[in-house]
Amino acid sequence: MAEMAARDMAHAAASLEDLRAIMEVFDGCPLKRTATRMVFADGNPDARIMFVGEAPGRDEDEQGLPFVGRSGRLLDLMLGAIGLDRTSAYIANVIPWRPPGNRTPTPQETAICLPFIRRQIQLADPDILVCLGGPSAQALLAVSEGITKMRGRLVDYDTGTRVIRALPTFHPAYLLRTPLGKRLVWRDLLAVEALLAQGASPQSGGKSG
């Protein structure tokens, strides 16, 4: 079963470099056969904050990096609004391969990829996890509510080694279609800024920074 194989392989990764190499040879997800390349991550893996979206789009598939198209430019502006950039944040997706035609990943595809992103979060060990969009939040936080209800609500996320703070917010692609949502995301970004200022994860040592 692909999901079980992914779980075993992800667990075997001792570092992010190991995990990337393991995912490159993993053949259990059919999306890999139609994607141009795997999109693993961008930014600084030592950063205190990690952003996770749903899946790569066309630009990401071509360049092998997450959030490099119009959504990526907006994400960069969002980061800049609270004094961050790609040297002070780590960025990935739940699904590392682009679904054909940018369609929504199936529940099975998400389930197969979930062990990899969970291990990626565990190995990166951020203090704060920001779920960009409903699918990311639903997959990682195991909730069924829509993003409109979830966004802005701080929850605990158990990485398997410690508990960190997680915050769902709107995906940049949604904001491109619905600019009115930017007002709400600004509130979420201010909450993230406050978390970074106060240390974010009182239940553990966390990263200095």
Residues sharing a CB contact under 8 Å with residue 53, sequence separation 6 or more, in sequence order: 66, 67, 71, 91, 92, 93, 94, 132, 133, 136, 171
**DSSP per residue over 25-83, as a string?**
H----THHHHSSS----EE-TT-SEEEEES---HHHHHHTSSS-SHHHHHHHHHHHHTT
The amino acid occupying position 178 is T
Q: Residue 206: what pLDDT?
A: 58
* Degrees to nearest 5, angle at CA 99 with 134 and 77: 50
Task: Please report whether residue 203 resides in a domain.
Answer: no
Confidence at residue 202, expressed as pLDDT on a 0 to 100 scale:
47
Segments of the chain with pLDDT less than 50: 201-205, 209
Does 124 map to a domain? yes
Residue 205 maps to a domain: no
Whole-prediction pTM:
0.94
Assess if residue 208 is contained within a domain: no
Q: Which pLDDT does position 90 carry in this prediction?
A: 98
**Residue 14 maps to which CATH number?**
3.40.470.10
Q: What is the pLDDT of residue 200?
A: 58
Q: Would 108 be classed as within a structural domain?
A: yes
Distance CA 30, CA 43 (A): 27
Bridge-based pairing of strands 163-169 and 155-158 is antiparallel
CB contact at 8 A, 166 and 140: yes
Q: Is residue 132 part of a domain?
A: yes
Strands 42-43, 90-93: pairing kind: antiparallel
**What is the pLDDT at residue 207?**
65
Owning domain of residue 140: 2-198
Asked whether residue 51 is domain-assigned, the answer is: yes
| pLDDT tens track for 142-168 | 999 999 999 999 999 999 999 999 999
- Would 155 be classed as within a structural domain? yes
Q: In the chain, what are the helix, strand and coil shares in percent, each to the nearest 5?
A: 50, 15, 40
pLDDT score at 199: 74
The count of structural domains within the chain is 1
